């Protein structure tokens, strides 16, 4: 595999200087592991979400979207098991007081050869003691025992101090899809198998957030639950593995940097589970998960709510609780993967290095930039920009040399630059420069629109 130019430091710096992602609450000294999307970043992230929704809702003949509340009845989290078991194994270094996840310590120490997911807390403690796994911050060996730490953020609901109920910020979007299973089924008259999808914020009090937007305490998830009959579940599990993979490939991801990783330790309710990992700048890590969750979720909600969640087959009259195939991907993690995948440094003939983000045009924030060659061509350029903006997002730039303006657009991944020059005044044509090849062609405004619209499609 060819050596890549991308590093996390370069990505963070580029994102900041080009308005893609800024550190959260920066003027107050920041707020650890929170990030704000800037004018370019919000467009890219929206495009990723739109591409996902198109593929998994719009193009699916039996999937439906919801947008459920972030704050849910606390019983939801009792039913899902989050109040008791959404925990991580936490260890504190008694010397430098830093906090770590025992599973991460083992994974790093064994260079990924030992899989802590398959270990109990006692086994992890024994491994750390036996191998004298030291604190990665201060290098000392003086650990607390493992304590389990619930990752849900708590808040309270109530108008007086005495009358407060504990509620949670949802740690995943999936439960909003499960609790609406029958609402969606009845209102759409969908027949099993069918899917419910949602994009929304989730919150986790992660012990070790980091790696830029890879692991944050507030993030967006894109989740799709496929409800199917027991017996057909494994077939659909395989189908969603393929759909999840194909989605990434159609966004332009190289298959060399993607791989499946089966879970070694399955949750007690899961029949099959795997991740798709991506080769991020810091190494192979989970990008998305696909899980065969059996009938666990609906059965638990039926039990805890006391409401029947059985589906009645309209033909056979059979009543049953469907199985669920879950496909879940973080929008921010996908953003980090897309940024890493797109980043390139190209050495030009004159020896200069060109930074270019080679996004799929459907993902790029702006589909075209309109650049007047000289300032006195601004009226014509503004007119062209307004015409294009009716069709797709456009950037307009008249500051600096044309070369510098091309570089700025390359750095945010704008696939086409349209330059308005003196010939434009005469015959209405513009040069259309391709981001990847830097080749230029001359087209009329209408031809340029048709040309760009064809290239920015996500199919
Ligand atoms: P991890 O093992 O990385 O903690 P997970 O297995 O807990 O992830 P899921 O609960 O399956 O993750 O969540 C589904 C997806 O949501 C993940 O594949 C990832 O893309 C995203 N995700 C999960 N936690 C975070 C986080 N803290 N920050 C950003 N994205 C996240």
How many other CB atoms sit within 10 Å of the CB of residue 107? 16
Helices 121-130 and 102-109 cross at an angle (nearest 10°) of 40
Residue 268 has pLDDT above 90, yes or no: no
Q: What is the pLDDT of residue 162?
A: 72
Residue nearest to atom 28 of ligand 1 (CA): 215
Percent of the chain with pLDDT over 70: 100
Output the domain CATH number for residue 162.
3.30.930.10
Going by pLDDT thresholds of 50, 70 and 90, the confidence category of residue 1 is low
d(CA 323, CA 126): 38
The angle that helices 378-389 and 445-455 make with each other, rounded to 10 degrees, is 40
Encode pLDDT of 229-258 as tens digits. 999 999 999 999 999 999 999 999 999 999
Q: Which of 275, 410, 412, 284 is nearest to 337 (CA)?
A: 284
116 lines ligand 1 (CB under 6 A): no
58 and 181 both lie in a single domain:
yes
Report, as an integer, the average pLDDT of 376-391. Answer: 97
Choosing from 130, 147, 164, the residue where a domain stops is 147
Residue 175, domain member (yes or no): yes
**CA–CA gap between residue 16 and residue 167 (Å, rounded):** 35
Domain final residue pick, 112, 132, 147: 147
Whole-angstrom Cα distance, residue 279 to residue 233?
29
- pLDDT by residue (tens digit) across 428-439? 999 999 999 999
Q: pLDDT at position 271, please?
A: 96
Smallest CA separation from ligand 1 atom 6, residue: 289
332 lines ligand 1 (CB under 6 A): yes
Contact 320, 231 (CB under 8 A): no
- The candidate with the shortest Cα–Cα distance to 365, out of 331, 411, 414, is 414
- Residue having the nearest C-alpha atom to atom 19 of ligand 1: 330
For the chain, give the mean pLDDT: 95
Report which of 456, 453, 359 is spatially closest to residue 412, judged by C-alpha positions: 359
Q: Could you read off the pLDDT of 78-125 as tens digits, one per residue?
A: 999 999 889 989 999 999 999 999 999 998 999 888 888 878 899 999
Structural domain boundaries, residue 164: 8-71+153-340
Beta bridge partners of 431: 419, 442
**Residue 221 Cβ < 6 Å to ligand 1:** yes
Q: In this structure, are 108 and 182 located in the same domain?
A: no
Count how many Cα atoms sit within 13 Å of the Cα of residue 354 in the half-sphere of its side chain: 22
Q: Would residue 290 count as lying in a domain?
A: yes
What pLDDT is stored for residue 3 in this prediction?
80
Which atom of ligand 1 lies at the shortest distance from residue 285's CA? 3
Note the pLDDT of residue 179.
98
| Integer Cα distance of 414 and 416 in angstroms | 6
Residue 350 is assigned to a structural domain of this protein: no
Query: Of 55, 319, 329, nearest to 192 (Cα)?
Result: 319
Q: Map residue 179 onto helix, strand or coil.
A: coil
Give pLDDT, residue 112.
Answer: 81
User: Where do we find the tokens 């959404």?
Assistant: 86
| pLDDT tens per residue, range 179-212 | 999 999 999 999 999 999 999 999 999 988 899 9
The CA–CA distances, whole Å, from 305 to 73, 126, 404 equal 11, 41, 61
For a pocket test of ligand 1, which of 215, 240, 244, 339 has the largest count of ligand atoms closer than 8 A to its C-beta?
215
Over the range 260-275, which residues count as b (16 or more CB within 10 Å of their CB) and which as e? eeebeeeeebebbbbb
Does residue 68 contact residue 103 with C-beta atoms inside 8 Å? Answer: no
Where does residue 61 rank: exposed (0-12), middle (13-18), buried (19+ CB within 10 A)? exposed
357 occurs within a structural domain: no
* pLDDT (tens digit per residue) in 153-170: 999 998 777 777 899 999
247: which 2 tokens? 């989605």
Structure token digits, residue 76:
């939801």
**CATH code, 119:** 3.30.40.230
Q: Is the CB of 291 under 6 A from ligand 1?
A: no
Report the CATH number at residue 410.
Answer: 3.40.50.800
The total number of structural domains in the chain stands at 3
Q: What distance separates the 2 farthest-apart alpha carbons in the chain?
A: 80
Distance of CA 238 to the CA centre of its chain: 21
Tokens of 20: 């893609």
Q: Which residues of 194-221 are buried (b: 16+ CB within 10 A; e: fewer)?
A: bbbbbbbebbbbbbbbebbbbbbbbbbb
The pTM score is: 0.93
Asked if residue 408 belongs to a domain, the reply is yes
pLDDT of 360 higher than 70: yes
């Amino acid at each position: 595999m060819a050596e890549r130019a991308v590093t996390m430091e370069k990505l963070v710096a580029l994102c900041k200087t080009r308005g893609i992602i800024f550190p959260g609450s920066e003027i107050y000294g920041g707020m650890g592991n929170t990030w704000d999307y800037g004018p370019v970043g919000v467009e890219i992230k929206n495009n990723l979400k739109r591409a996902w929704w198109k593929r998994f809702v719009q193009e699916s003949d039996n999937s439906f979207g919801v947008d459920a509340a972030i704050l849910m009845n606390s019983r939801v989290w009792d039913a899902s098991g989050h109040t008791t078991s959404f925990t991580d194994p936490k260890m504190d270094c008694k010397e430098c007081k830093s906090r770590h996840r025992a599973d991460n310590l083992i994974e790093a120490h064994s260079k990924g050869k030992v899989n802590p997911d398959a270990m109990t807390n006692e086994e992890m403690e024994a491994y750390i003691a036996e191998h004298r796994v030291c604190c990665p911050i201060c290098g000392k060996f003086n650990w607390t025992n493992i304590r389990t730490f619930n990752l849900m953020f708590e808040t309270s609901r109530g108008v007086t101090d005495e009358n407060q109920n504990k509620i949670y910020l949802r740690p995943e979007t999936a439960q909003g899809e499960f609790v609406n299973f029958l609402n969606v089924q009845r209102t759409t008259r969908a027949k099993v198998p069918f899917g419910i999808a949602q994009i929304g914020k989730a919150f986790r009090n992660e012990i070790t957030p980091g790696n830029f937007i890879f692991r944050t305490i507030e993030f967006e998830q894109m989740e799709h639950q496929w409800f199917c009959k027991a017996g057909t579940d494994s077939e659909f599990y395989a189908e969603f593995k393929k759909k999840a993979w194909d989605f990434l490939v159609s966004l332009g991801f190289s298959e060399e940097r993607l791989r499946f990783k089966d879970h070694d330790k399955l949750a007690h309710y899961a029949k099959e589970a795997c991740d798709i990992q991506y080769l991020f700048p810091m190494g192979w890590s989970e990008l998305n998960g696909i899980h065969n969750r059996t009938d666990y979720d609906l059965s638990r909600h039926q039990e805890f709510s006391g409401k029947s969640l059985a589906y009645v087959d309209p033909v056979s009259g059979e009543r049953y609780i469907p199985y669920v195939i879950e496909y879940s991907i973080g929008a921010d993690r996908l953003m980090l993967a897309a940024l890493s995948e797109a980043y390139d440094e190209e050495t030009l003939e004159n020896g200069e290095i060109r930074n270019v983000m080679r996004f799929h045009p459907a993902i790029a924030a702006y589909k075209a930039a309109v650049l007047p060659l000289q300032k006195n061509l601004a009226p014509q350029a503004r007119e062209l920009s307004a015409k294009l903006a009716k069709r797709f997002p456009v950037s307009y730039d008249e500051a600096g040399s044309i070369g510098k303006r091309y570089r700025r657009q390359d750095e945010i991944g704008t696939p086409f630059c349209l330059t308005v020059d003196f010939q434009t005044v005469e015959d209405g044509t513009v040069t259309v420069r391709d981001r990847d090849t830097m080749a230029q062609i001359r087209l009329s405004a209408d031809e340029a629109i048709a040309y760009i619209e064809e290239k920015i499609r996500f199919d």
